[in-house]
């Protein structure tokens, strides 16, 4: 399996997102909002196979952090 993105950077971004969304739930459910993160990042990781020239670490980090801003 081809992987050019950093697992360490993925984990770091995931923990940051988990902290940023602490206590939030998926709208209309009782599920923790953090479950949304790996679903989005898996879509991006899958898309990386189609665009090998992009910055893979940046793409994965953006997927994990896409709405962590204030």
Task: Find out whether 41 and 10 touch, Cβ atoms under 8 Å.
Answer: yes
Residue 41: inside a domain: yes
Between 3 and 63, the higher pLDDT residue: 63
Global pTM value: 0.73
pLDDT at 70 over 70: no
Q: How many domains, in total, are found in the chain?
A: 1
Query: For residue 3, how far is the Cα from the chain centroid?
Result: 15
Residue 57 domain boundaries: 7-65
**pLDDT at residue 23 in the model:** 93
Task: Find out whether 14 and 61 touch, Cβ atoms under 8 Å.
Answer: no
Q: What is the mean pLDDT of residues 14-28?
A: 91
pLDDT at 3 over 80: no
Task: Find out whether 57 and 9 touch, Cβ atoms under 8 Å.
Answer: yes
- The string of pLDDT tens digits covering residues 36-58 is 888 888 898 888 888 777 788 88
Residue 29: inside a domain: yes
């Amino acid at each position: 399996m081809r992987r050019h993105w950093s697992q360490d950077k993925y984990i770091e971004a995931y923990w940051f997102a988990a902290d940023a969304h602490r206590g939030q739930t998926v709208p209309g459910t009782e599920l923790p909002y953090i479950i949304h993160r790996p679903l989005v990042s898996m879509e991006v990781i899958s898309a990386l196979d189609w665009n090998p020239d992009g910055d893979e670490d940046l793409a994965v980090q953006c997927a994990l952090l896409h709405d962590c801003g204030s």
